């Protein structure tokens, strides 16, 4: 009785946010999927009838390269953000409370400046006449002809810069709850400090790692401003292609088709995970189920 009442209360409380998601997320997403099956007229409007022609673009070697590059850059971004974020989270969680708050502030401060302005700042830093380039040339680390801007490296650098705070936040909040005596216990039982870190600390903050991956990998896949501003023609990502189809070519179905593929890329991996977990659970419970029958 009591439980069901709480459930209805919970449903009532969550209704507004569900309604919001339905209205401004689910319905637009479905519209995008729908439009991807439409045709376009020369004026950029949606034409009559349905067609798969928007998807024909996908069967193309240059598109495959684009997708692979997008995935590669996203994976690199995620891996680099994790490998910087996890040690940072560990160090922050071990600090005095007062210092933890100060560091938190340092992580958050970049958000006070507009995203576009921060990317422009990177353009200035990486510019051929910029300080960094001149310095690297001066210490003879790069030749005069090298370019720090408008390539994949620049895109990756700014991607990591942009998403690192998003990775640190969930990692820190998981590390902060971690019981550090477990590391002492592991060392007490003969495990070296590095091994304890891998075997005890990483599983201990697994929730944080999973959400860090989610908040870095998924937005990185869809990013478009960063490659647009610091990337060159050879470092385009899927997001640029979508923007190009919509703004330049004014072909909404083609842009929608690419978006649909991107959505599928987000949805399919967690879906597979969910299915695997479900089947595991049922197979675990099945002997009990048989017994109870």
Partner 1 sequence: MKDFLVFENLSKSYANIKAVKNISLSINKGEIFSLLGPSGCGKTTLLRLCAGFEIPDTGRIILNGTDITALPPEKRKVNTVFQSYALFPHMTIRDNIAFGPKIAGKSKKEIEHEVDEMLDLIQMHDEADRKPSQISGGQKQRVAIARALINKPQVLLLDEPLAALDLKLRQRMLIELDQIHDEVGITFVFVTHDQTEAMSLSDRIAVMDKGHIEQVGTPVEIYESPVSSFTAAFIGDTNFLDGQVTQTFDDNRAEINVPGIGTIICYNDRKLKEGDPVHVSIRPEKIHMSKTEPEENRKLNILSGTVENMVYTGTSTKYWVRSGEWLFTLQKLHMRYLLDETPAKWDDHVWISWHADDCYMLEKYREADEQLLTLPDIEEAVPGSASPSSNNKDISSKESAPAKEKR
For residue 204, state whether it binds partner 1 (rule: CB under 8 A): yes
For residue 286, state whether it binds partner 1 (rule: CB under 8 A): no
For residue 10, state whether it binds partner 1 (rule: CB under 8 A): no
Sketch the per residue contact string, 62 through 81, with partner 1: x for CB under 8 A, - otherwise.
--------------------
**Based on CB atoms, which residue is closest to partner 1, 36 or 196?**
196
User: How far apart are the C-alpha atoms of 131 and 128, rounded to whole Å?
Assistant: 8
Which residues within the stretch 36-65 sit at the binding site for partner 1 (CB under 8 A)?
none
> Whole-number minimum distance, CB 167 to partner 1, in Å?
21
Instruction: Report CA torsion sign: 97, 98, 102, 103.
Output: negative
> Whole-number minimum distance, CB 284 to partner 1, in Å?
11
Sketch the per residue contact string, 157 through 196, with partner 1: x for CB under 8 A, - otherwise.
----------------------x-xx-xxxxxxxxxx-x-
Interface residue with partner 1 among 206, 234, 279, 286 (CB under 8 A) is: 206
Residues with Cβ within 8 Å of 71's Cβ and at least 6 positions away in sequence, in order, are: 221, 265
CB 245 within 8 A of CB 254: yes
Interface residue with partner 1 among 87, 110, 203, 270 (CB under 8 A) is: 203
Residues with Cβ within 8 Å of 291's Cβ and at least 6 positions away in sequence, in order, are: none
**Based on CB atoms, which residue is closest to partner 1, 127 or 187?**
187
**Based on CB atoms, which residue is closest to partner 1, 87 or 203?**
203
Binding site for partner 1 (CB under 8 A): 179, 181-182, 184-193, 195, 200, 203-204, 206
């Amino acid at each position: 009785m009591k439980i069901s009442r709480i459930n209805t209360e919970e449903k009532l409380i969550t209704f507004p946010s569900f309604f919001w998601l339905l209205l401004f997320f689910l319905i637009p997403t479905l519209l995008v999927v729908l439009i991807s099956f439409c045709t376009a007229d020369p004026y950029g409007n949606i034409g009559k009838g349905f067609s798969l022609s928007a998807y024909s673009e996908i069967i193309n070697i240059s598109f495959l390269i684009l997708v692979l590059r997008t995935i590669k850059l996203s994976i690199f971004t995620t891996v680099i953000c994790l490998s910087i974020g996890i040690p940072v989270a560990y160090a922050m969680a071990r600090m005095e409370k007062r210092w933890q708050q100060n560091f938190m502030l340092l992580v958050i401060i970049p958000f006070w400046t507009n995203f576009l302005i921060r990317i422009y700042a990177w353009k200035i830093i990486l510019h051929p006449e910029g300080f960094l380039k001149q310095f690297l040339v001066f210490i003879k680390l790069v030749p005069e002809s090298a370019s720090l801007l408008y390539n994949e490296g620049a895109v990756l650098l700014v991607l990591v810069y942009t998403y690192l705070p998003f990775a640190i936040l969930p990692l820190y909040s998981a590390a902060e709850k971690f019981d550090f005596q477990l590391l002492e216990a592991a060392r007490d039982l003969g495990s070296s400090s590095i091994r304890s870190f891998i075997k005890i600390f990483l599983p201990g903050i697994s929730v944080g790692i999973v959400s860090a991956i989610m908040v870095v990998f998924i937005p990185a896949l869809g990013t478009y401003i960063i490659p647009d501003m610091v990337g060159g023609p050879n470092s385009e990502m899927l997001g640029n292609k979508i923007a190009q189809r919509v703004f330049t070519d004014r072909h909404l179905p083609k842009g929608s088709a690419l978006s649909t593929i991107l959505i599928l890329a987000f949805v399919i991996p967690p879906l597979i995970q969910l299915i695997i977990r479900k089947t595991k659970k049922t197979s675990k419970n099945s002997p009990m189920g048989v017994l109870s029958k």
